[in-house]
A and B are shown apart, each in its own frame.
Chain A
């Protein structure tokens, strides 16, 4: 559980120290304290949707950290035998990196109001992500064909489970991507989808990071 604990320690330390800073040097019993007129009054200078996304990313990280801990604990037991990862995963990783780049470019374009680039960027990001997901399915097929079934070894079970979870999170992102793309295609201007594009970009970068972490874990064990 060490990794989970380290992660949670970081999260809780951040949250608690921020909250503590809000509470030190305050005299809450005083009415109309001049402190309350300070800029922001403790409201973060960010859109609520971004805070929602960051909180969600924290929750998902907690989920994957717990899987990591479970993986490492289960790995120590006698019946574990390492899995030969299909080479296809390298290609998939490349495609997911391309998706992330596409979103990054789209984000810049949306801020500058370049509608055409936003459209093509979103389509490119969507295509790359779909290719990644199909690639993951193909990797499953290859493993299955080679006799690495879900239940034949815990290493296999973890592989299928973790890739499936990661894919499901990407599918959730694709829902937001789909709504955003539909809005742009039906005539919304670039600025109005700027926030959605930014949220997608952050989420895709995050899921790329998770995938790279997972892939590294799978390769090294």
Chain B
């Protein structure tokens, strides 16, 4: 019997609506509820990490002033801040949050193809978060090994949290990877198999292309983290020597024999570099849709954008060792990785050009989501350019252990994706809640965040050029650091605290608008994609009422000449009387 696509046998599939409060909102298998559960959990741990960064900045800006921050605390704050932000906030929010919410709605499906596994994915993710946060309360506290957890120091006495913290961190990561795999298999299969009639792959909004490719990268790259986490746990708990070399600790010979710390670095960065794109690709996709929608213009070079995503995905697996130039590698090896690193800048640059050209002569509406999207172009270009500096071995060697690196990755991987997160939350908030947020507060939030983060990270580049080393608890008396560097550190701290506090405006806006926001129009931004065409707002369980939508066009029919409206939703058939238009992207 020939296989019939899900969209073609919709009426034969029985749909069970959840009936009790618990199946609706807690043990829910509805992708929208799971998305919101993911989102709230991720934002919550993100806030924890934000507070940790504030504490770190207090110490760096005003050393000796805060007796409650000891060196041990400081390293624990660094480690937890980094790990939470990269994995438990950004990865979970983009894929578990936006992926879950947008995939079924944007492809015109009723839900994910494996809803039960989807639910399990969230609860296992929550478990990993609980294990992670619990490590704050165990004897010795959380690990302070730095977010890269390099052995041997990660498990040797002297590093904070080597009793319990490191084991809980590694365990939490392993659990997170299980959760991600369950979600990721769902996202890939759903995009491949559950698309509505007429929704060819090349009609998918770029958000989905970004999420799709990022999920594939995650599925293939997270095993590397899993492998390193498992082997390091064994080194710590059972005394094996996968990574641990023969080593003296506190004057005593340890039982470990000749393991290889470099092996860990290879495994870690084999995951770690694709991870950058696991976060960046969904951001690229979402921002493309925000720019196109709010500039009322089709995305410039849609096919080029898709190909760039594919190219970045493929190349992201062959650049990992550019994080290891300082590990003493063979110079030819370094040369190879510098080359691949520079090559991956090409598709990335194509995307940046296309975003700018999408804005070019567009009918730009400076709405709150659009402000964040445009802000992203600035911060991402900025962070990307410093990446080209660091991708070259000779430039990287002197800068690698300085604040230049901190500035680089916070611009490219911290600020940029977070701006997209905010833009996307504002953009889809009316769909998720049925209410409009307060625009003025949104704009204040944007300007304070953008200018504040620039005030934090621009000076850090300068500190890096001065040679101020990163990871230090305090600098004491040094001859190479001028007084201006100390003054700058204080300024950065003040700005960072300001940016942190400003996020309360965002939280207030989101929570207050739930009850008091204006009732939102079902399609307030006049967008073309399917999620805005649902019969109910917010969409109910099953998303589409009785009939699944049929798709007749791509997601970017904005300002089509000859039409009354400046947008044509994807489910509107081609009108025979409509003027012929084929000036797409020639």
Contact B314 A12 (CB under 8 A): yes
Chain B 109-124 per-residue mask, 1 if CB under 8 angstroms from chain A, else 0: 0000110000000000
Instruction: Name 23 A/B residue pairs within 8 A (Cβ), A-sorted.
Output: A8-B220, A12-B220, A16-B314, A23-B201, A28-B200, A29-B554, A30-B584, A35-B200, A40-B5, A41-B199, A42-B200, A46-B193, A48-B113, A48-B190, A51-B193, A59-B219, A62-B220, A70-B242, A73-B266, A74-B260, A77-B260, A79-B246, A154-B241
The answer to whether B202 touches A51, judged by C-beta atoms less than 8 angstroms apart, is no
Which residue of chain A is the closest to B311 with respect to CB atoms?
A: A16
A43-65 vs B, CB cutoff 8 Å, 1 = contact: the mask equals: 11111110110011011001100
Point out the residues of chain A lying under 8 angstroms from B238, CB to CB.
150-151
Whole-angstrom CA separation of A12 from B192 in the bound complex: 16
Bound complex: CA A7 to CA B568 (Å): 43
CB contacts (< 8 Å) of B201 on chain A: these are: 19, 22-23, 42
B1-32 to A contact mask, C-beta < 8 Å, 1/0: 01101110000000000000000000000000
Residue of A nearest to B302 (CB): A28
Q: Are B255 and A151 in contact (CB under 8 A)?
A: yes
- Cβ contact within 8 Å between B226 and A63: yes
Residue pair B241, A26 in contact (C-beta under 8 Å): no
Q: C-beta contact mask, B197-212 vs A, less than 8 Å → 1, else 0?
A: 1111111000000000
Asked if B193 and A16 sit within 8 Å, CB to CB, the answer is no
A5 sits at the interface (CB 8 A): yes
Bound Cα distance from A15 to B219, whole angstroms: 13
B267 contacts A70, C-beta separation under 8 Å: yes
Tell which of B81-89, B227-235, B432-440 binds the partner. Answer: B227-235
User: What are the 7 A-B residue pairs with the smallest beta carbon separation, nearest first?
Assistant: A29-B584, A31-B574, A31-B553, A63-B223, A32-B574, A157-B240, A79-B258
Is there an interface contact between A51 and B189, defined as CB atoms closer than 8 Å? yes
Query: Are A28 and B270 closer than 8 Å at their CB atoms?
Result: no
Known: A32-B573, A77-B260, A79-B241. A55 touches B219 (CB 8 A): yes
Whether A5 lies near B200 (C-beta < 8 A) is no
The 8 Å CB contact of B202, one of A22, A67, A154, is A22
Judged by a CB distance under 8 angstroms, whether A161 is at the interface is yes
> Residues of A contacting B512 with CB < 8 Å?
none
- How many A residues touch B, CB cutoff 8 Å? 54
B552 at the interface (CB under 8 A from A): yes
Contact B574 A52 (CB under 8 A): no
Residues from chain A with Cβ under 8 Å of B197 in the complex: 41
Query: Do the beta carbons of A5 and B317 come within 8 Å of each other?
Result: yes
Q: Which of A109-153 contact B (CB under 8 A)?
A: 150-151, 153
CB pair A20 B231 closer than 8 Å: no
By the criterion CB–CB under 8 Å, are B240 and A44 in contact? Answer: no
Closest-by-CB residue of B relative to A46 is: B3
Determine whether the beta carbon of B582 is less than 8 Å from that of A55: no
Q: Kindly provide the distance from the CB of A48 to the nearest chain B CB, expressed in whole angstroms.
A: 4
Chain B residues with CB under 8 A of A8: 220, 317
Closest beta carbon of chain A to B334's beta carbon, Å: 15
A23 and B307 in contact, given A1-B266, A11-B220, A66-B270 (Cβ under 8 angstroms): yes
Beyond A12-B314, A23-B306, A55-B188, 14 additional contacts (C-beta under 8 Å) are A20-B307, A20-B310, A28-B202, A30-B553, A31-B557, A41-B197, A43-B192, A48-B114, A48-B194, A59-B220, A63-B223, A151-B238, A154-B241, A157-B241
Measured CB to CB, the closest approach of chain A to B249, in angstroms, equals 16
**Contact of B259 with A by CB under 8 A:** yes
B267 and A154 contacting across the interface, CB-CB below 8 Å: no
A interface, CB within 8 angstroms of B: 1, 4-5, 8, 11-13, 15-16, 19-20, 22-23, 26-32, 35-36, 40-49, 51-52, 55-56, 58-59, 62-63, 66-67, 70, 73-74, 77-79, 150-151, 153-154, 157, 161
Q: How far is the CA of A74 from the CA of B556 in the complex (A)?
A: 52
The residue on A at minimum CB distance from B315 is A12
A12 touches B317 (CB 8 A): yes
Smallest CB-CB separation from A12: which chain B residue?
B314
Q: CA–CA, A30 to B263, complex, Å?
A: 51
Q: CA–CA, A48 to B568, complex, Å? A: 31
What bracket does the count of chain B residues touching chain A fall in? 35 or more
Query: Assuming A154-B257, A161-B234, is B220 touching A52 (CB within 8 A)?
Result: no
Residues of A within 8 A of B556 (CB): 29
1/0 contact string of B562-585 vs chain A (CB within 8 Å): 000000100001100000001011
Inter-subunit contact B202/A32 (CB<8 Å)? no
- Say yes or no for B538: interface residue by CB 8 A criterion: no
Q: Is B239 an interface residue (CB 8 A)?
A: yes
Smallest CB gap from B246: residue in A: A79
**A70 close to B314 (CB less than 8 A):** no
Q: Is the CB of A43 within 8 A of B193?
A: yes
Chain B residues within an 8 Å CB radius of A43: 5-7, 192-193, 195
A168–B509 Cα distance when bound, in Å, is: 47
CA distance A203 to B329 in the complex (A): 40
Contact flag A52-B114 (CB < 8 Å), given A74-B260, A151-B239: yes
> Which of A28, A40, A52, A77 makes the CB contact (< 8 A) with B303?
A28
Interface centre among B113, B197, B257 (most CB of A within 10 A): B257
Q: How far is the CB of A53 from chain B (nearest CB, A)?
A: 9
Do A62 and B223 touch (CB < 8 A)? Answer: yes
Collect the chain B residues with CB atoms within 8 Å of residue A67's CB.
227
Q: A32-B552, A66-B227, A74-B260 are in contact. Are A27 and B193 (CB under 8 A)?
A: no
Chain A contacts of B192 at CB under 8 A?
A: 43-44, 48, 51
Assembled-state Cα–Cα distance A65/B239 (Å)? 24
B501: Cβ under 8 A from any A Cβ: no
| Known A44-B193, A56-B185; contact A77-B226, beta-carbon cutoff 8 A | no
Also in contact, A52 and B302, with CB within 8 A (given A26-B202, A58-B219): no
Chain A contacts for B202, CB-based, 8 A? 22-23, 26, 28
Query: Smallest CB–CB gap between B281 and chain A, Å?
Result: 13
Partner of A47 from the list B3, B240, B317 (CB cut-off 8 Å) is B3
Q: Contacts A26-B200, A58-B220, A161-B234: A16 and B303 contacting too (C-beta < 8 A)?
A: no
Residues of B within 8 A of A16 (CB): 310, 313-314
Contact present for A48 and B6 (CB under 8 Å): yes
